[in-house]
Amino acid sequence: MEAQNDKKTNRTEISELGEFGIIDRLTKNFELRHASSLKGVGDDCAVIATGKGKAMLISTDLLIEGIHFDLSYHPLKHLGYKAVVASISDLYAMNARPSQITVSIAVSNRFSAEALDELYDGIWHACDYYEVDLIGGDTSASEKGLLISVTAIGEASQKQIVYRNGAKAGDQIIVSGDLGAAYLGLQLLEREKQIFLENPEVQPDLEQETYILRRQLKPEARKEIIDILGELKIKPHSMIDVSDGLSSDILQICTASGMGCRLQESGIPIAKETFERAVKFQIPPLTAALSGGEDYEILFTLSAQDTEKIIKNPLFSVIGEITAQKEGYNLISNSGQVHQLIAQGWNHLNPS
């Protein structure tokens, strides 16, 4: 095997640094020059002051064929929808609403205009459902495959915006919906693809598993949470969307806030269908919930008092507590064992 870090050529493999390591390395020398740049790199969105206590929020996401999606099982229409969802989810993750998107694509000549019509039909439906305007983008040829980049823009009052870095010791950790379904949907699609490649006569019967497939192929962003929080007059101390996996995303909150955490396995919500498919694949359901990505649920931390107000709503689960940093990042299993949490989330730069 080749040495990963060859001193003679001074070459560092990106996979050695990981996604967050490379972002940090590339961006650390950039200072924010403008007072209006309220938040730069390091949260779900950048935040720009626009005057009168208001701010604009911006987030960009990139989807690459062969890395983020496989067109042998991902219909283009769903893919267009998902690209918008992945991008606007970052706005909801800061307690803000998206209002505009730009969409940039690069396409090889393998794609027809009709194929791109399908992609844009999905984008249209997402714009319609989430009430956002498509306001521009860019179009280019690509040598190979399809690339989609969506930038989402929104506006909020500065006071309402929730960052990753505000978690406090004693906060309850809450997550919406359930976790791990998108990951198992992907595992199922991958398995069906392999079966099809080996024997095209075998037709899959996936009707029992529509939930996990939908969570992978046509996910939704949690647009209702900002309204629920608003009605209850609750402002979380910290917030993030679960796009890389629960472990990775709670660690983002903890490191940004200088805190530790104690998750309880018993609190982590896993849908019945997800659980059953995980068991069939001999994947521990908890592993799917902790390390699977693309759930687009919202993870946030609240004072114990506010937690009482929200927990009556079945959409939410209390999954643990924020602790002092020195206590580390822990998960208490159902048998009472303490495990150290590690970020094994989606890492497209190092997908091992």
Residues that bind ligand ADP (CB under 6 A): 23, 26-27, 41-44, 61, 90, 243-244
CB 44 to Mg ion: min, Å: 4
Nearest partner of 80 among 21, 28, 9, 129, judged by Cα: 129
CB 193 to ligand ADP: min, Å: 26
* The entry of ligand ADP, Mg ion, none that residue 321 binds, CB within 5 to 8 Å by partner kind: none
Alpha helices in 292-343 (DSSP H): 304-310
Alpha helices in 131-174 (DSSP H): none
Closest to ligand ADP by CB, 271 vs 299, is 299
Closest to ligand ADP by CB, 76 vs 150, is 150
* The entry of ligand ADP, Mg ion, none that residue 43 binds, CB within 5 to 8 Å by partner kind: ligand ADP
Task: Kindly give the interhelix angle for 76-92 and 113-130, rounded to the nearest 10 degrees.
Answer: 30
CB 164 to Mg ion: min, Å: 9
Structure tokens at 218: 């046509």
Residue ranges in 229-258 that form contacts with Mg ion under rule CB under 5 A = 241, 243
Cα gap 55→40, rounded to integer Å = 13
Residues ≥6 apart with Cβ < 8 Å to 141: 106, 107, 108, 109
* The entry of ligand ADP, Mg ion, none that residue 265 binds, CB within 5 to 8 Å by partner kind: none
CB 299 to ligand ADP: min, Å: 11
* The entry of ligand ADP, Mg ion, none that residue 165 binds, CB within 5 to 8 Å by partner kind: none
* The entry of Mg ion, ligand ADP, none that residue 27 binds, CB within 5 to 8 Å by partner kind: ligand ADP
Strand order in the sheet with 37-39: 37-39, 46-51, 54-64, 146-157, 97-107, 133-141
Closest to Mg ion by CB, 178 vs 241, is 241
CB 177 to Mg ion: min, Å: 15
193-198 long-range Cβ contacts below 8 angstroms, 24+ apart: 193/70, 193/72, 193/73
Nearest partner of 172 among 316, 46, 50, 53, judged by Cα: 316
CB 351 to ligand ADP: min, Å: 15
Closest to ligand ADP by CB, 27 vs 112, is 27
- Three-state secondary structure call for residue 284: coil
Closest to ligand ADP by CB, 56 vs 278, is 56
Structure tokens at 190: 């991958």
* The entry of ligand ADP, Mg ion, none that residue 42 binds, CB within 5 to 8 Å by partner kind: ligand ADP
Residues ≥6 apart with Cβ < 8 Å to 324: 169, 259, 260
Cα gap 297→143, rounded to integer Å = 35
The amino acid occupying position 183 is: Y
23 with 41: CB under 8 angstroms? yes
Give the total of residues touching Mg ion (CB under 5 A): 4
Nearest partner of 92 among 298, 303, 310, judged by Cα: 298
Tell me which of 44, 265, 297, 306 binds Mg ion, using CB under 5 A. Answer: 44
Residues in the chain: 352
* The entry of Mg ion, ligand ADP, none that residue 202 binds, CB within 5 to 8 Å by partner kind: none
Nearest partner of 93 among 30, 149, 29, 45, judged by Cα: 45
The residue number whose beta carbon is nearest to Mg ion equals: 44
Closest to Mg ion by CB, 57 vs 189, is 57
- State the binding string over 59-98 for Mg ion (x if CB under 5 A, else -): -------------------------------x--------
Residue ranges in 158-217 that form contacts with Mg ion under rule CB under 5 A = none
Closest to ligand ADP by CB, 43 vs 297, is 43
Closest to ligand ADP by CB, 152 vs 259, is 152
Q: Which residues bind Mg ion (CB under 5 A)?
A: 44, 90, 241, 243
